[in-house]
Amino acid sequence: MKKITIICLFALITANGFSQTFNSKRLDSLFTLLEKNNKYMGSIAISENGKTIYTKSIGFDDAAASKKSDINTKYRIGSISKIFTASLIFKAVEENKINLNQTIEKYFPTIKNAKTITISNLLNHRSGIHDFTNDDSYFDWNTQYQSRDKMIERIASGEIAFEPDSKGEYSNSNYVLLTYILEHVYKNQYAEILNQKIIKPLKLKNTYFGGKINTNNKESYSYSYSGEWKKSTETDISIPQGAGGIVSTPVDLNYFIESLFAGKIISAEHLNLMKTIKDKFGMGMFEFPYLDKKVYGHTGGIDRFKSVSAYLPQEKLAVAFCSNGKDYDNNNVLLCALSSYFNNPFTMPNFNIVQVPAQTLNLYSGTYSSLQIPFKINISQKDNTLIAQADGQSSFPLESTSVNIFKFDTAGIVLEFNSEKNEMNLKQGGKEYLFKKE
């Protein structure tokens, strides 16, 4: 989905070692602060050795009806669905339905390079197939039902991004096509394959392939905030398929990823393939650093739903959270959860806003570039608010916490200006980047 990222959000802070005492009060304080300032709605669950050690929910399933969320609230999990779909593909391999090195031309003869693109290339985003969610027209039709043939037509009509297996680049199209391959080889609908191969064996109570949102079934709407929580539009699930169409809860997501790493779904050999990172991508999985540890999992975003599923194999620690409305960076929620577990420092957010005079804001306006990262950032002013826009990305408003420090909580960005030196320091994900005004 189109979203503001600026830079990678998962450069996690360092850890000092394991703590036997989980700091639940820290997470309670964060969620109380977020709820009080209308910065977040959602649920979190943390599990160690298969046992849930923390849960918390804030906000509403249905804000208009004042239906409060709880730990059984179900959320659209977006691209976390890809871990499920990749697992199903490996199950199909283990059942000799397909093999990773076979090409896809017999399934999709109209797809460019289908004779050289393999199932393996689809799994780790090395196909070069155009991502349909990047189309300028995407939001003109994303709320409408799309047939299998229409989706293949849309995917096939896009320009090839690169030659197969020459590099990695994220594309939702890959996992929509993997969904259709599963349906072909099992001669069944994706929802039923998911149910038979994963949900029933693991006894996941609140996980399934989604449909029209039904709050009477403890499903939640998604929201944006502008003075009040406003309900978002709803992507038709016929579009994302196994790339982003699953509904679940943090508790179920933790149990699923624990089961995956415990060998209850696919073989250790195939799990290792999922974990093997090439050009930033595994096969249905990402890897995030945490000091000397490796954190595996995936993020998800669809409409205003944002989710994270993370697992630390050494500690057998699973963290999952799903939001249906946020103006605060999910990376910081994960950092707070991990710092609470490992007994590391964590700085609580400051939501106090300072009014800065227009003449001072004018001093910060201009185009900034950095020797550390390749894109430029334009800073402008509108209605006494600073607006930032990086090359090729959407603009976003900045809030001032002091006369020269501004933030965008949704992406965890902090900008600190020095007008005398014509400099701007960008902080995100525990890293800093110096920009100079041109």
pLDDT of 208-240, one tens digit each? 999 999 999 999 999 999 889 999 999 999 999
What is the structure's pLDDT at 352? 85
Helical residues (DSSP H) of 109-230, grouped into ranges: 119-123, 138-141, 148-157, 172-186, 190-194, 200-202
What is the structure's pLDDT at 10? 43
Please state, in angstroms and rounded to a whole number, the distance separating the CA atoms of residues 368 and 389. Answer: 10
| 348 has a pLDDT exceeding 60 | yes
Q: How confident is the model at residue 101 (pLDDT cuts 50, 70, 90)?
A: very high
- Tell me how far apart the 2 most distant CA atoms of the chain are, in Å: 69
* 8 A C-beta contact, residue 156 and residue 112: yes
Instruction: State which amino acid sits at residue 436.
Output: K
| 4 has a pLDDT exceeding 90 | no
| 172 has a pLDDT exceeding 80 | yes
| 11 has a pLDDT exceeding 50 | no
Average pLDDT score over residue span 5-29: 61
Q: How confident is the model at residue 20 (pLDDT cuts 50, 70, 90)?
A: low
Strands 51-58 and 399-400: unpaired
What is the structure's pLDDT at 189? 98
Tokens of 360: 């001072």
CA distances (Å), origin 303, targets 12, 164, 211, 234:
26, 30, 14, 6
| 200 has a pLDDT exceeding 60 | yes
Please state, in angstroms and rounded to a whole number, the distance separating the CA atoms of residues 200 and 219. Answer: 20
| 420 has a pLDDT exceeding 60 | yes
| 13 has a pLDDT exceeding 80 | no
* 8 A C-beta contact, residue 425 and residue 36: no
Q: Supply the mean pLDDT for the chain.
A: 93
| 16 has a pLDDT exceeding 50 | no
Neighbour count for residue 232 (Cβ, 10 Å): 16
Average pLDDT score over residue span 35-40: 96
Please state, in angstroms and rounded to a whole number, the distance separating the CA atoms of residues 90 and 50. Answer: 23
| 423 has a pLDDT exceeding 60 | yes
Q: For 247-286, how does the pLDDT look when each residue is reduced to its tens digit (9 = 90+)?
A: 999 999 999 999 999 999 999 999 999 999 999 999 999 9
The structure tokens 């300028």 sit at 136
* 8 A C-beta contact, residue 130 and residue 150: no
Most confident of the following: 8-22, 266-280, 341-355: 266-280
Please state, in angstroms and rounded to a whole number, the distance separating the CA atoms of residues 115 and 103. Answer: 6
Identify the helix (H) or strand (E) that includes residue 214.
Answer: none
Dihedrals phi, psi of 17, to nearest 5 degrees: 130, 170
Average pLDDT score over residue span 81-96: 98
Q: How confident is the model at residue 431 (pLDDT cuts 50, 70, 90)?
A: confident
| 33 has a pLDDT exceeding 80 | yes
What is the structure's pLDDT at 3? 41
Q: How confident is the model at residue 7 (pLDDT cuts 50, 70, 90)?
A: very low
Please state, in angstroms and rounded to a whole number, the distance separating the CA atoms of residues 170 and 111. Answer: 17
Beta carbons within 8 Å of 377's beta carbon, 6+ residues apart: 367, 368, 369, 388, 389, 390, 391, 424, 426, 435
Burial of 368 (0-12, 13-18, 19+ CB in 10 A): buried
What is the structure's pLDDT at 93? 98
Q: How confident is the model at residue 21 (pLDDT cuts 50, 70, 90)?
A: confident
Beta carbons within 8 Å of 24's beta carbon, 6+ residues apart: 54, 340
- Half-sphere exposure (CA, 13 Å, Cβ side) for 158? 24
| 414 has a pLDDT exceeding 90 | yes
User: Dihedral sign, CA of 232, 233, 238, 243?
Assistant: negative
Please state, in angstroms and rounded to a whole number, the distance separating the CA atoms of residues 144 and 141. Answer: 5
Beta carbons within 8 Å of 165's beta carbon, 6+ residues apart: 118, 121, 126
Q: How confident is the model at residue 435 (pLDDT cuts 50, 70, 90)?
A: very high
Q: How confident is the model at residue 18 (pLDDT cuts 50, 70, 90)?
A: very low
Which range among 82-91, 134-143, 386-395 shows the weakest confidence by mean pLDDT?
A: 386-395
Least Cα distance to 199 among 55, 78, 88 occurs for: 88
Please state, in angstroms and rounded to a whole number, the distance separating the CA atoms of residues 380 and 363. Answer: 10
Average pLDDT score over residue span 345-359: 90
